Chain A
Amino acid sequence: MKLTIVDWSIMLIYFVFVLGIGFTLKRYMKTSTDFFLSGRSIPAWITGLAFISANLGAQEVIGMGASGAKYGIATSHFYWIGAIPAMVFIGVFMMPFYYGSRARSVPEYLKLRFDEKTRGLNAISFAIMTVFSSGISLYAVGLLLGSLLGWDFNFSVLVAALIVLAYVFLGGLTSAIYNEVLQFFLIVFGFAPLVIIGLIDVGGWSGLQSRLATVATSNGFGAGAWSQSWTYMGSASSNPMGVEWFGLAMGLGFVLSFGYWCTDFLVVQRAMAADSMSAARRTPLIAALPKMFFPFLVILPGMIAIALTYQTGQSGFVLPAKADGSLNYDMAIPMMLGHYFPTGMLGVGLTALIASFMSGMAGNVTAFNTVWTYDIYQSYIKKGASDQHYLWMGRMATVFGIAISVAATYLATRFNNIMDMLQLVFAFVNAPLFATFLLGMFWKRTTGHGAFVGLLSGTLAAAIHHGSTLPKGAMPGIKGGWFGTLHTYPSEMAQNFWTAIFAWTTCFVVTIAVSLLTKPREEGELVGLVYSLTERPRETESVWYRRPTILAAIVLAGAVILNIIFW
């Protein structure tokens, strides 16, 4: 990819702004609440955009483009059923407890609702996961900039890490949130012309459909397998994802989606920074509005890329192949940028990509420094210190959190499998979480012992399920089957969805059973933490579009309509 001075200056100006925001915000960081929770003073539209941007790291952008090429429009399930319903649920039903309890983090909510050991389990596993996730982000940035621009791996990793370090260190969560909003607009403006030009090139949606029919039939599927999202979900063998509708709806649409959007502190932290209860509840709902349309921005380029690849020769565009001869789907979006953008616009597109790397990483870093400082350091290492001390600790946590991420990056370059294994373990830990929160918030009888034992058995169930099943055609090992193969799934995705379903169900049942055998807490202690003991939030907003329930109805209707259009 050849860049000129125009592209370089656009990138450079972006970096100047990022650091400039950090420096400007430095003087507002007076207390630990300013640093970790933005002083709970951010308006809803900003926290809302940050809510989706924190999730829109580069792995997401690159990964969704890759899936668009690999699976077609069915990738939209990760949005229209795999995100929107959960975002509505947290906004309408869960946020009153997160925000209303004044908990400063998700683990702290668990401490208020259950007990110290449940918080400890969640805080420590979350802290480890976020640090390594940001390491995975860095590793990806190093690889991508290397293959795209020929930058040195060490240079890319260190520059990205130092810039994120600088702006989070200076401006804390506010700085991260502001940069996420900046990144949101950059992604929209950087990718929209790509989609427009790409669609013109392939003859619009109908042109793309007929080209994708070639892709589908030459892979042995029905003609619409790449351009219709539900029609081919009847059985796992008729769609390229290799999943059937029940596993998709329960595994992705319920367990994984609700587990991520409703319990992951990385996103919940953005809503906690909102300036009022109403703003906190609106945060995920405002986020859901653009989220609904992101498939057009990130999945369509992948679909166009695969369509062009199958029209050999005509367009001159071909997805590169990996060493084993299969297509390197991860290059779909970066290659499309290079294919359609002239110098200038190319600078904007690449800047958007780099921005998504950095803010994905910053999201992890801010979640880590908060959980570390409040839930680990203040709870177990040094209680009762001054607020200034914890503010200082937050800055230090930012430094060593990033240092560990960089170390993890280099670990990944040595042992490639480590990252796959870590992600597997994270999946085991995350899968049962939503059962704990659902029971904790909506069943006052749930006890701390029940939650703790339920979480552990859910994680164990995930590991056992993964260890005893295999996706079709895979060897026992990292893909599963390490204690024999009881069942073979049609695809890795189907196996993941069912691992999640097993983990969730186990956690749900065990939590209920253990709760019934242990002593419940006094009802008086649970006011504000459990649905039946908490006053319903009153609609205080006078304007209809600021009411969470009305926004929720609009968002759900939108998701249903989109599903029907692309059925």
Chain B
Amino acid sequence: MGLDIRTPIGLLFAVIGAILVVSSFFLNGEVYRASLGINVNLWWGLVMLVFGLIMILLGARRKDGSLE
């Protein structure tokens, strides 16, 4: 199939990760009382961003969609 699924997955996770990271700079620290004081938007946003970038990279390297 002509569309490598890793490209849209990568893009979506990179965008969501970026939104989380950026939002963590603007949000009042009060909101993290729910998450036991952990800045989950920043940390998990970074995790999602990195995962997204890796998927984009894999999708760009292999056009056939196979893992090997």
Q: Which residues of A contact B (CB under 8 A)?
A: 6, 9-10, 13-14, 17, 20-21, 24-25, 28, 38-39, 41-43, 45-46, 174, 178, 181-182, 185, 189, 193, 197, 200-201, 339-345, 348, 543
Tell me which residues across on chain A come within 8 A of B11, comparing CB atoms: 17
Q: Which of B1-39 contact A (CB under 8 A)?
A: 1-3, 5, 8-9, 11-13, 15-16, 19-20, 23-24, 27, 31-32, 34-36, 38
Tell me which residues across on chain A come within 8 A of B23, comparing CB atoms: 6, 343-344
Tell me which residues across on chain B come within 8 A of A14, comparing CB atoms: 12, 16
Tell me which residues across on chain B come within 8 A of A28, comparing CB atoms: 1-3
Q: Indicate whether A25 sits within 8 Å of B3 (C-beta atoms), given known contacts A46-B65, A197-B36.
A: yes
Tell me which residues across on chain B come within 8 A of A181, comparing CB atoms: 5, 9
**CA A46 to CA B20, docked complex, whole Å:** 27
Q: Indicate whether A189 sits within 8 Å of B48 (C-beta atoms), given known contacts A17-B11, A342-B35.
A: yes
Q: Indicate whether A343 sits within 8 Å of B31 (C-beta atoms), given known contacts A174-B1, A178-B3.
A: yes
Tell me which residues across on chain B come within 8 A of A182, comparing CB atoms: 5, 8-9, 12
Indicate which residue in B2, B15, B41 contacts A342 across the interface (CB closer than 8 Å).
B41
Indicate which residue in A39, A185, A197 contacts B1 across the interface (CB closer than 8 Å).
A39
Say yes or no: B1 contacts A25, CB within 8 Å: yes
**CA A178 to CA B20, docked complex, whole Å:** 24
30 contacts between A and B (CB under 8 A): A6-B27, A13-B15, A13-B16, A14-B12, A17-B11, A21-B8, A28-B3, A38-B1, A39-B1, A43-B64, A178-B3, A182-B5, A182-B8, A189-B51, A193-B35, A193-B40, A197-B35, A197-B38, A197-B40, A200-B38, A341-B34, A341-B40, A342-B31, A342-B41, A343-B23, A343-B27, A344-B19, A344-B24, A344-B31, A345-B40
Indicate which residue in A39, A46, A200, A543 contacts B5 across the interface (CB closer than 8 Å).
A46
Q: Which residues of B contact A (CB under 8 A)?
A: 1-3, 5, 8-9, 11-13, 15-16, 19-20, 23-24, 27, 31-32, 34-36, 38, 40-41, 44-45, 47-48, 51, 64-68
Tell me which residues across on chain A come within 8 A of B31, comparing CB atoms: 342-344
Say yes or no: A344 contacts B36, CB within 8 Å: no
Closest to A41 in B: B1
Say yes or no: A342 contacts B32, CB within 8 Å: yes
Q: Indicate whether A189 sits within 8 Å of B13 (C-beta atoms), given known contacts A10-B19, A42-B1, A341-B35.
A: yes
Tell me which residues across on chain B come within 8 A of A193, comparing CB atoms: 35, 40, 44
Closest to B38 in A: A197
Closest to A201 in B: B36
Say yes or no: A185 contacts B20, CB within 8 Å: no
Given contact pairs A43-B67, A178-B3, enumerate 12 new A-B contacts (beta carbons under 8 Å): A25-B3, A38-B1, A41-B1, A42-B65, A342-B27, A342-B34, A342-B35, A342-B41, A344-B31, A344-B40, A348-B20, A348-B48
Main secondary structure of the interface of B (DSSP, over half): helix
**CA A41 to CA B5, docked complex, whole Å:** 13
Indicate which residue in B8, B44, B68 contacts A345 across the interface (CB closer than 8 Å).
B44
A394–chain B nearest beta-carbon distance, Å = 17
Closest to B11 in A: A17
**CA A28 to CA B48, docked complex, whole Å:** 30
**CA A414 to CA B35, docked complex, whole Å:** 40
Closest to B33 in A: A342
**CA A348 to CA B23, docked complex, whole Å:** 13
A4–chain B nearest beta-carbon distance, Å = 9
B14–chain A nearest beta-carbon distance, Å = 11
Tell me which residues across on chain B come within 8 A of A340, comparing CB atoms: 34-36
Tell me which residues across on chain A come within 8 A of B35, comparing CB atoms: 193, 197, 340-342, 345
**CA A423 to CA B33, docked complex, whole Å:** 42
Tell me which residues across on chain B come within 8 A of A339, comparing CB atoms: 34
Closest to B30 in A: A342
Say yes or no: B41 contacts A21, CB within 8 Å: no
Q: Indicate whether A345 sits within 8 Å of B41 (C-beta atoms), given known contacts A13-B15, A200-B36.
A: yes
Tell me which residues across on chain B come within 8 A of A45, comparing CB atoms: 67
Tell which of B35, B47, B48, B67 has the most Cβ of chain A within 10 Å: B35
Say yes or no: A21 contacts B51, CB within 8 Å: no
Tell me which residues across on chain B come within 8 A of A201, comparing CB atoms: 36
**CA A200 to CA B36, docked complex, whole Å:** 9
**CA A178 to CA B4, docked complex, whole Å:** 9
Tell me which residues across on chain A come within 8 A of B1, comparing CB atoms: 25, 28, 38-39, 41-42, 174
**CA A331 to CA B38, docked complex, whole Å:** 24
Say yes or no: B36 contacts A185, CB within 8 Å: no
**CA A25 to CA B3, docked complex, whole Å:** 7
A338–chain B nearest beta-carbon distance, Å = 8
Closest to A339 in B: B34
Closest to B12 in A: A17
